[in-house]
Chain A
Amino acid sequence: MRISLRAAALASVAVLAAAGCSGTADPTTTGGAGPLAGQSLEVAGTWSGTEQESFQQVLDAFATKTGATVKYTSGGDDLAALINSRLAGGSPPDVALIPQPGVVNEFARKGAIKELTGEAATAVAANFSPAWQQLGSVDGKLYGVYFKVANKSVVWYRTDKFAEAGVQPPATWEDFVKVTKTLADAGISPMAVPGGDGWTLTDWFENVYLRVGGSENYDKLSRHEIAWTDPTVVQTLQLLGQYWGDAKAVQGGAKGAVQLKFTQSIADVFGEKPQSAMLFEGDFVAAEINKLGKVKVGEGAKFFDWPAVNGSKPAVVTAGDQAVAFKDSPAAQQLIAFLASPEAAKIMAAKGGFLSANKNLDTKAYPDPTTVALAESVVKADLLRFDLSDLTPQTFGGGTGASMWRLLQDFLTNPADPAGTAAKLEAAAKKDFGGK
């Protein structure tokens, strides 16, 4: 029998072929003359597509200014996994823009990231408010600068659908529920909930929780200093459960929602064949609406601030990508200093879909009044809190399969038992937060 030998060979070739089809071409910007001429830097981030293109222009500007060669690597949703494996292999990127402070904390404690000193520290002190500096510090040492921030307390809606049902943007939770009901009565699916991406559900939770539990409890919960079985958590889940549990309120019902990806949900609301009237997610939805090009942001697509619960004060859940240095090189520090400057923020602000926490950035840099309004609510908010799930350990709130993502997806599918879900969250938190 010769065939079997050939079979084995063929099989191994096939496996190799299947395994070998990966790898992406990463864009590289080659610098010219300058103080960093000949040096090369690698920057890793989660951005891809339009955001990557815009960020590339910022890197280009840095390259032109300093002469360094900058390469951008996109890690997507699994950026932390990428950096971890690169760290394990001993070749981390020079600088990374990490969206989860929890991950940054872990890196800082392990000594993987370097404290910002000199030029970088000066730039951060000059351009950012103490609150943002605080968010970029671990144990009192400055490690990161928030280059991009998000306003995650807005609900986007189609003006035509609202007009058809004759409803106005709600200001309170009761109105919000009423608007939802009226839309459903008009035969319009009110809300797209992209439960296929667990992080969107954590944002729902955080917005309600910040208003139900208040800032103090919010901070405590993020550090697991109060239990997830706390009455405020249960009450939050009850409100969410009542909303999500109404099959008329959620596009496709719970079963459909849990299959719906975030990008698809934007197309389902603001695309060619609109299915729903509202979509909750951060300011970055605007860029995607523009990309679809079916309705104009500010005309066909508008936003309202997250409704107040029981008379709560205006509050904003924010998020952001924090630039941290994995190498203690002058080039890395210079790049971070550049990212902290209004100059870098201005380049990306002009592209749209970008908000900066840089207090020295002129709001004229933003392309339209909607973006200005979104940015101002972040800069001027009385109550500003960082996305809670991103503050928790990675296994709890920071990635695909994370406990909070998973449990909220399960809750969306079956919202009958808020107390039970709270108990499961607490059990997961006990495990994921370690000894705390």
Chain B
Amino acid sequence: MVGWEVPIGAAIAFAAGAIGTGWAQSRIGAAGAGAIAERPETAGTIIILEAIPETLVILGFVVAAMILLMVE
């Protein structure tokens, strides 16, 4: 039987990753919108840049999953 601290730990790991991703994407999104407005040919690069912070939330998800699955 796991205690309450395990799901809380998993939630923190996932939430921190999600918040970080959200913040980074908002900044990249705003700057990217500005860049695309002036130079539409940069759209492909901007989409890739916008996706990079997703790694943060994926990492958070993996850590959360590991906490839930590996901690007995």
A binds B: no
Q: Which residues from chain A sit less than 8 Å from chain B, CB to CB?
A: none
Residues of chain B touching chain A, judged by Cβ–Cβ distance below 8 Å, are: none
